[in-house]
């Protein structure tokens, strides 16, 4: 009878946790120990080696609207990517949520769409502007933001409007 070889995962030492989860877990344990002391229960103290770890500040900044508009105005970027970028910027939704949308899901009058969140619940994402228009004449002329077909999805109609490009 052969013996089962040991798997590498069983012999590996676990990686040290990063500072944020370490500090979070340490705070939870400290709170529990404090509760035990107040309840009159015998409890140990935290060892000196379990000091808080220094967290590095995240210097990542959100892109400005002008930077996004500049990227969306480039002609070498396909319409699909422009639409994705605009939806991500306008809604602050996760990329997977936006990519899972179907055209039929979009409520253009209310500028919203239902998405399935991480927990499985249905939530609504909202956007302030219409996604980039596919109107070729407006794209070439650089007037896509004034195109009546894009503006119809952008705000409720105030009266009769032409359905052609301006």
Has residue 15 got a pLDDT over 80? no
**What does the alpha-carbon distance between residue 105 and residue 95 come to, in Å, rounded to a whole number?**
16
* Mean pLDDT value of segment 150-156: 45
If you count them, how many residues does the chain have? 166
Enter the pTM of the model: 0.46
Give the tens place of pLDDT for each residue, 91-110. Answer: 888 888 899 998 888 888 88
Angle value at C-alpha 20, between 35 and 93, nearest 5 degrees: 115
State whether residue 141 is helix, strand or coil.
helix
State whether residue 32 is helix, strand or coil.
helix
């Amino acid at each position: 009878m052969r013996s089962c070889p040991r798997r590498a995962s069983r012999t590996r030492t676990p990686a040290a946790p990063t500072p944020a989860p370490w500090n979070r877990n340490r705070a939870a344990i400290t709170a529990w120990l404090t509760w035990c002391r107040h309840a009159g229960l015998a409890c140990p103290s935290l060892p000196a080696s379990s000091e808080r770890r220094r967290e590095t500040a995240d210097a990542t900044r959100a892109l400005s609207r002008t930077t996004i508009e500049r990227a969306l105005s480039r002609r070498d970027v396909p319409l699909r990517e422009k639409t994705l970028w605009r939806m991500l910027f306008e809604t602050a939704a996760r990329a997977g949520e936006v990519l899972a949308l179907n055209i039929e899901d979009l409520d253009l009058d209310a500028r919203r769409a239902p998405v399935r969140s991480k927990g499985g619940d249905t939530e609504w994402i909202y956007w302030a502007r219409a996604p980039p228009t596919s109107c070729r004449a407006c794209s070439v002329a650089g007037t896509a933001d004034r195109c009546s077909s894009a503006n119809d999805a952008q705000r409720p109609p105030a009266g009769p409007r032409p359905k052609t490009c301006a």
